[in-house]
Amino acid sequence: MARAQQAQIIGDDWYIYESHIPALSFGAAGNATDTINIQANSDFILYQTVYAAFIGDGPATDGARVLPLVTLQLTDTGSGQQLFSDNVPIINCFGTAQRPYILPSPRRFRANTTLTINYNNFSAATTYDIYLGFAGKKVFRD
């Protein structure tokens, strides 16, 4: 009986998937959902996560880091697995560009998978503009 041939890795390249929830769609004490479609040409290995958050239209300065009162849940629809046991504050699992959150172990998302991000703003008075970055590498197979 012949064994099935495994796909061979033919290359990889660094990549960042981005989720952006603009303030207009994510009001105070509101919820929002975004999806990231992992491209069909490669698996994605996630190594680091980063966030940036802004309030209003004021200028962003290097020393004015916003700590949003927002929790989130990540779901890998390819496996059906939620990545957290409960909604967690962004600052628990996302770092900054200067100090990214490094995952304890890399996380593989298969090609054609969707990553669903559920946001919950628990501030009754503040509306945030939030960007999440998922940094890793695309792995191409034959």
Rounded-to-5 percentages of helix, strand, coil across the chain: 5, 55, 40
Q: What is the C-alpha separation between 142 and 59, in angstroms, rounded?
A: 46
pLDDT tens digits, 54-109: 887 666 666 778 889 999 999 999 899 999 999 999 999 999 989 999 999 999 99
Structure tokens at 55: 């309030």
**pLDDT (average), residues 41-62:** 86
Quick one: pLDDT band at residue 25, thresholds 50, 70, 90? low
What is the model's pTM? 0.87
Per-residue pLDDT, 114 = 96
Per-residue pLDDT, 6 = 66
Q: Are 71 and 90 in contact (CB under 8 A)?
A: yes
